[in-house]
Structure 1
Amino acid sequence: MLVEALVAIAIFSFAVLGIVGLQATAIRTVRDADYRAKASFFANQIVGRMWVDRFNVPTYALNAAAIACEEGDNTAANPLVTSWISGLSDATNQGALPGAAGLQQQIVVGPNNVVTVTLCWKSPQDDAAHNFTLTTQIQG
């Protein structure tokens, strides 16, 4: 009877460990979904600014010749892009993306005002950077 009780406790312990592992995976997945939703918000925010200023879309280009998500700086000539970048990577802002300040964000304006926005972030527990890409065409 004692052996049966020990086996039951062992099985129960493995079940509890499995549930703890599932909880950790769920937390990581929810965190990733949150960052992806924030990236979508920021990408749509800059596209919205471009729609309002659709006759000056080429001035919104950022790191067009660089490789997105590489380490580097995000210097923009357009002050609207500069303020957008500061909101994206502001460490005091709860809505900001972690690690975005050290990675090159990218806005590419192609022919016919086809705009591709690539946002990158890297949380402290991640080994590699994540990215979100939005492509749209802005008609003038």
Structure 2
Amino acid sequence: MIMETSILKQRGSVMLESLIAILIFSMGILALVALLGASVKDTTNAKYRADASLLANQVIGEMWTGDKTNATLVANYGTASGAQFVAWKGRVIQALPGIIDAVVAPPVAGQNLPTIAVDANNMVTVTVFWQAPGESGRHNYVAVTRLHE
């Protein structure tokens, strides 16, 4: 009689232990999936930053190999209508997300257009913007160099 009562009290305990084990295992799997998602997002952000760095350094390299007089640099790169700037801006728009190329004067917020500033001492500041899909804020990469004639 005592044996029967003990068995009745134990009924279902294996099932309960199994369900708890499955729950713990499932939580671990969900944590791994979340970690993988964060890893993919970070990898994507790193790719965009590397692309922005490449594009900024590429245009600086073009400036180094061309005519480095201040007037030429300002005409070709320091204005929105300069031929080399327009070609480079096209490459930036193709490579990075979240850039809207619209003919608007002056540029409006949200376009994320790249900029190149050339001062009187040939100090060049290249700024590249992008906005990753699904994000509300924009990112930027800035490269500054001085070109000697």
Deviations 1:58-117 (A, max 9, x none): 22114xxxxxxxxxxxxx231011111112113xxxxx1012233232111124211111
Distance 1:113 1:24 in 2: 44
Larger mean CA deviation between 119-128 and 102-111 belongs to 102-111
Task: Show the counterpart of 1:136.
Answer: 145
Distance 1:121 1:130 in 2: 5
Task: Show the counterpart of 2:134.
Answer: 125
Distance 1:19 1:37 in 2: 27
Q: Is the 8 A contact 2:55 2:92 kept in 1?
A: yes
Distance 2:91 2:114 in 1: 13
Secondary structure at the residue paired with 2:127? strand
Larger mean CA deviation between 41-50 and 103-112 belongs to 103-112
What RMSD over aligned residues (CA atoms) do the two structures have, in Å? 1.3
TM-score, normalised via structure 1 length: 0.81
Following TM superposition, the consecutive aligned residue runs of length 4 or more in structure 1 with deviations greater than 4 angstroms are: none
Q: Which runs of 5+ in 1 are unaligned?
A: 63-75, 91-95
Task: Show the counterpart of 1:45.
Answer: 58
TM-score, normalised via structure 2 length: 0.76
Q: Give the C-alpha shift of residue 47 in structure 1.
A: 0.5
Q: Which runs of 5+ in 2 are unaligned?
A: 1-13, 101-110
Distance 1:126 1:136 in 2: 30
Q: Which has the larger radius of gyration?
A: 2
Q: Is the 8 A contact 2:92 2:114 kept in 1?
A: no
1:79 counterpart letter in structure 2: A
Matched, 1:61 2:78: yes
Task: Show the counterpart of 2:21.
Answer: 8
Higher relative contact order (CA 8 A, sep 6+): 1
Task: Show the counterpart of 2:4.
Answer: none
